[in-house]
Amino acid sequence: MTGGLAPVVRLRSGRATLALVAIPIGRAPLGACEKLDGEAVTTVFVFVGPILMPVDTLYALRWRGTTPTGFQVRHHPKSVALAYLRWFVAPLAMMIAFIASIVDQHGPAVLSAKAQLILAIMAVVWMALIFASGRTTGVKARQRRVMAMHLGHAAPPELLFDGSLRLALEELDKTWDGAIGRDPSYRTDGGEALAWRDLYPKDVPERLLPLYYTACRYEAVLVNRQVLLNRANLAWRRIEGLFPDFESLRNSTLTVTSAALAARTVQAPSE
C-alpha cells in the first residue's frame, strides 16, 4: 500500500481554505468466496481512500498472510458484491447507526441499551459476512473435491478461461488413456483404447468414474453442450451411490493430483 495527497476544502471561521491530506492508495484482494479447503475466488481491488474499484479476479490456491497465490479466472459478480458488503456497506451502515444513536435534536446523547443491542447485532452480522459467508458446502463441495483429485485444484470449470479448459482436458485425456489402456475390455476392434467420450456413464469402470465426471464437466463448459452435462450428472449419481463418503472414493478410485499439474492446467492466456 502507498499513500497520496488529495485536495480538500476546510471551513474555518466561515472561511474556506484548500489543504492537502494523505490518503491510502493500493491494491487488495477482497470478496473471498467459493471457499473450499483453503482455496477461494477473490477479487483484486484498487483503492484510493474509501473508493474501491475491482480490476482482476483470481482463484487463490494458497495464501501467504493476506496475499493470494493462484491464477486468473473470469469475473465473479458474487465476489465483487461480497467485497462491497463486507468493507463498504456494512461498516458505513454501522457508522451511520452509531452517529444516529448518540446524536439527537438537542446534541450528543448517551447510547441507549436499545441502540447498543442494535449495534451489537450489526457487528455480529458484519463478522458473519467476513468469516462465515462465501463457503462452498454440500454437493457442490463434494463435486469440486472430486475434480481436484485429477487437476490439483478445485476451481469450478465455469470460472476458467477457454485456454485453461483446453489445457485441463488435454491432461484429463492423457490420464484417461493411460488408465483405460490397461484394460482389454475397453479397446476397439483395432486394439485402441476407448476414449471417455465413447462411453456412457453406466459403462464407465467404477475406478474411473471421478475422472469421467471431471472430463464431462470441463468439456460441457468448453463446448456448451447439455448432453455432456447430462452425462456428468448421471456419472455423479453413480459416484454417490457407490461411494458414500469422500475417503472411500479417494481410496477406491484413480487419483492424480499435484501442484505441478495444477500449474500446467491453468497457465493459459486470458481471453
Domain boundaries, the chain: 28-131, 138-264
CA distances from 78 to 53, 74, 86, 132 (A): 15, 12, 12, 15
What is the distance between the alpha carbons of residues 57 and 153, in angstroms, rounded to a whole number?
16
Residue 238 phi/psi, 5-degree rounding, is -65, -40
How far does CA 265 lie from the centroid of its chain?
Answer: 17
> Angle between the 138-151 and 209-223 helix axes, to the nearest 10 degrees?
100
DSSP for 73-130 reads ----HHHHHHHHIIIIIHHHHHHHHHHHHHEETTEE-PPPHHHHHHHHHHHHHHHHHH
The residue length of the chain stands at 271
For residue 224, the SS3 value is coil
- Which among 149, 20, 29, 142 has a CA at the least distance from the CA of 82? 29
The pLDDT value recorded for residue 106 is 58
- Which among 25, 4, 28, 7 has a CA at the least distance from the CA of 16? 7
Residue range 230-257, pLDDT digits in tens: 999 999 999 999 988 777 777 777 666 5
Residue range 198-219, pLDDT digits in tens: 999 999 998 899 999 999 999 9
pLDDT band (50, 70, 90) for residue 9:
very low
DSSP for 175-208 reads HHHHHHTT-GGGB-TTSPBPPGGGS-GGGS-GGG
The pLDDT value recorded for residue 202 is 94
The pLDDT value recorded for residue 98 is 82
The pLDDT value recorded for residue 12 is 60
The pLDDT value recorded for residue 266 is 58
The pLDDT value recorded for residue 83 is 93
CA distances from 122 to 31, 34, 92, 98, 134 (A): 19, 24, 11, 10, 18
Residue range 139-185, pLDDT digits in tens: 999 999 999 999 989 999 999 999 999 999 999 999 998 888 667 77
In the block, cell 481436484 appears at 148
CB under 8 Å, gap of 24 or more: what pairs does 16-21 form? none
The pLDDT value recorded for residue 92 is 87
What is the distance between the alpha carbons of residues 193 and 183, in angstroms, rounded to a whole number?
8
Reply yes or no on whether the pLDDT at 221 is more than 90. Answer: yes
CA distances from 172 to 184, 199, 210, 215 (A): 20, 15, 11, 6
Residue range 95-126, pLDDT digits in tens: 888 887 777 655 556 677 888 888 899 999 99
The pLDDT value recorded for residue 245 is 79
Give CA angle at 70 (177, 89), nearest 5°: 135
By the 8 A CB rule, do 43 and 79 touch? yes
Sign of CA dihedral 79, 263, 37, 235: positive
